Chains A and B, each alone.
Chain A
Amino acid sequence: DAGVIQSPRHEVTEMGQEVTLRCKPISGHNSLFWYRQTMMRGLELLIYFNNNVPIDDSGMPEDRFSAKMPNASFSTLKIQPSEPRDSAVYFCASSLGRGFSYEQYFGPGTRLTVT
């Protein structure tokens, strides 16, 4: 299996632009998570999907952030408009079953820089 696939790996954009991050979970996994990593706060959960349905989006910073999962093999995280403080590494992870099983498989991340 190819593991969790994320694209792009790096994104540099100007403040105010729309940014879309993409994730393909491991085939057969039915839970998907988006995390953000910063130096100050470490890894923070942004949103959790189970069977393509958003279960918990309490970690989404504000209305500028939105996430979708139109099918079991694809999810997007969109930031519109982007701001410099959104600069971080964004990880997608997937797992089997509902909720947080012991092993979440992480993708390589997307490093976002907003200038």
Chain B
Amino acid sequence: DQQVKQNSPSLSVQEGRISILNCDYTNSMFDYFLWYKKYPAEGPTFLISISSIKDKNEDGRFTVFLNKSAKHLSLHIVPSQPGDSAVYFCAARANAGGTSYGKLTFGQGTILTVHP
């Protein structure tokens, strides 16, 4: 059962426009959410995160929004640049105090292509 889902396998955006990547989750025990970025032939690298006590976190051109009632989070990239073209993984961590010790669960990934 996929607890973290990224329903859009790919997204194509024009340079300068906004990119919005979406992620849905089902486990209400998740308390921390992360986005990772992956270039071809490289491992994923941490991009931005958000705690469940917040609904927004911003870092430069990247903003993550969390809607707990909808169990939905999104990553906004404004303005999009060709160098942002990569695979983006959403990940969620369960409460570290439980038996899951904070295990990360990843989505399937979304391929973002930013056209010049």
Inter-chain contact B103/A102, CB cutoff 8 Å: no
With both chains docked as a complex, state the minimum distance between the C-beta of A97 and any C-beta of chain B, in angstroms.
Answer: 10
Q: Name the CB-closest residue of A to B93.
A: A100
Inter-chain contact B106/A106, CB cutoff 8 Å: no
Q: Which residues of B contact A16 (CB under 8 A)?
A: none
The 0/1 profile, CB within 8 Å of B marked 1, for residues 28-72 of chain A is 000000010101111111001000000110000000000000000
A91 to B49, CA, bound (A): 21
Inter-chain contact A107/B46, CB cutoff 8 Å: no
Pick the contact of A102: B4, B32, B89 (CB < 8 A).
B32
Inter-chain contact A102/B45, CB cutoff 8 Å: no
Task: Determine which residue in A9, A102, A105 has the highest number of CB atoms from chain B within 10 A of its CB, and name it.
Answer: A102
Q: Which residues of A contact B109 (CB under 8 A)?
A: 37, 42-43
The 0/1 profile, CB within 8 Å of A marked 1, for residues 38-59 of chain B is 0001111110010000000000
Query: Does A79 lie at the interface of the complex (its beta carbon under 8 Å from any beta carbon of B)?
Result: no
Pick the contact of A93: B32, B43, B93, B101 (CB < 8 A).
B43
Pick the contact of B43: A44, A91, A99, A103 (CB < 8 A).
A91
A45 to B91, CA, bound (A): 12
Inter-chain contact B44/A41, CB cutoff 8 Å: no
Query: Does B29 lie at the interface of the complex (its beta carbon under 8 Å from any beta carbon of A)?
Result: no
Inter-chain contact B108/A42, CB cutoff 8 Å: yes
With both chains docked as a complex, state the minimum distance between the C-beta of B52 and any C-beta of chain A, in angstroms.
Answer: 14
Pick the contact of B106: A43, A55, A99, A109 (CB < 8 A).
A43
Pick the contact of A44: B32, B41, B93, B106 (CB < 8 A).
B106
A49 to B79, CA, bound (A): 39
Query: Does B11 lie at the interface of the complex (its beta carbon under 8 Å from any beta carbon of A)?
Result: no
Q: Name the CB-closest residue of B to A39.
A: B108
Q: Given A43-B89, A44-B106, A55-B101, A108 and B42 touching (CB < 8 A)?
A: yes
- Give the B-binding residues of A (Cβ under 8 A): 4, 9, 35, 37, 39-45, 48, 55-56, 91, 93, 98-100, 102-109
- 7 new A-B contacts, CB < 8 A, other than A39-B108, A91-B43, A106-B44, are A40-B108, A41-B108, A43-B91, A45-B103, A45-B104, A56-B103, A99-B102
